[in-house]
Structure 1
Amino acid sequence: MIKTVAIGLWVCIIALGSLMLAIKIGSQPKAVAATEDTAPTIDYDRTDVMSVPILADGKVNGYIIAQLVYTVDSKVKNKLTVPLGLFVNDEVFNAFFGSYSDTKQIERIKFEDVKQKIIDGVNQRFPEPVIKDLMVEQFNYIPADQVRDMNKVK
């Protein structure tokens, strides 16, 4: 009978020891998970199709029609409480509205300069940089005369 009680106690001690070891090993942070968290994840999004009027001498000379694609760090984007697209649309509009009073200047737009201006403008509004790159999906200039002619009923 003493042998049976001793074997029972031995089994209980082994079971309790293995349970404690499993809890201790399971609570330690894993080194693999730490390296996964530091790897940057890039995501992309599109702006709305925007039409920005080009004004000169108090009248509309034409419209820039643009749609851009921007890449963002998804971890930083997930921390934001406001939609990022609103800020990008605002910076795109500000980059073109009032900047080109002579429609001939539109033909000589260097997108690299405009692109950097938009990226810097958006990133300045946040504590850490969000926008990584900006690419053109659509970019057109339509003179106001063509828009007026499209609206005429024939």
Structure 2
Amino acid sequence: MIKLIGTGVWVLAITLASVYFSLKMASAPKVDTAAAEREAAMEFVSGYTTTLPVIGEGGVNGYLLTKLAYKANKDLAAKQVVPLPQMITDELYTLLVGQKMIDVANAGSFDLEAFRGIVKEGLNRRFGEEVIAEVYVEQIDYLTTASVENPPPKKGVTLLKGEVPVVETEAKSSGH
């Protein structure tokens, strides 16, 4: 009986000692305060649905409908004279109509990451500062002129349908 009690005390002492030393040796997770501050300085900006003409031989071949959203620096965005969504829409016309970034005839060759990068670089170049941190694609559609003039059901082609992260209620209430 004494051996059984001694064994129980020994197991209890070893368990308590191992818990004590494991807690003592464990370090607290390192918090990257710089990254947390950068993230706190960002806001979510929902873009407008933008309809861009696809111009080809002989006129307009169709329309590209895009809806993008952005993660932008609050302070730098507040310094802009023109409101951010309007400036973004204007820059999208410049980038997508002027540079022919999307080849609708070959939708399978569309590179989403390159598209996001080009949009981000073009916007930041236009702002003159790193205002846009990330570009989110909600949807990109292509409608032919024939489907717009005589709309049979479902003639448009969805090139891409993405997901935008959930926005905190504070960002929604700020009006952006």
TM-score interval for Structure 1 and Structure 2 normalised by the shorter chain? 0.5 to 0.7
1:105 aligned onto 2:103:
no
The 3 A distance-change label for structure 1 pair 58 and 110 is: same
Q: Which has the larger radius of gyration?
A: 1
CA contact (8 A) 1:52 1:63 kept: yes
Q: Secondary structure at the match of 1:80?
A: coil
Which 4+ runs in 1 deviate beyond 4 A?
none
Structure scoring higher RCO (CA < 8 A, sep ≥ 6) equals 1
1:96 aligned onto 2:117:
no
Unaligned runs of 5+ in 1: 1-34
Alpha-carbon deviation of 1:118? 1.3
Q: Deviations over 1:57-111 (max 9, x none)?
A: 1221111111100110112112222212222112222222151696313442212
**C-alpha distance in structure 1 between counterparts of 2:55 and 2:102, whole Å:** 6
Paired residue for 2:150?
149
One-letter identity of the residue aligned with 1:59: G
Paired residue for 2:51?
51
TM-score, normalised with respect to structure 2 = 0.57
TM-score, normalised with respect to structure 1 = 0.65
One-letter identity of the residue aligned with 1:48: Y
CA contact (8 A) 2:72 2:133 kept: yes
Paired residue for 2:15?
none
**C-alpha distance in structure 2 between counterparts of 1:112 and 1:101, whole Å:** 13
CA contact (8 A) 1:73 1:132 kept: yes
Alpha-carbon deviation of 1:131? 0.3
Alpha-carbon deviation of 1:129? 0.7
CA contact (8 A) 2:102 2:110 kept: no
Unaligned runs of 5+ in 2: 1-32, 153-176
Paired residue for 2:66?
66
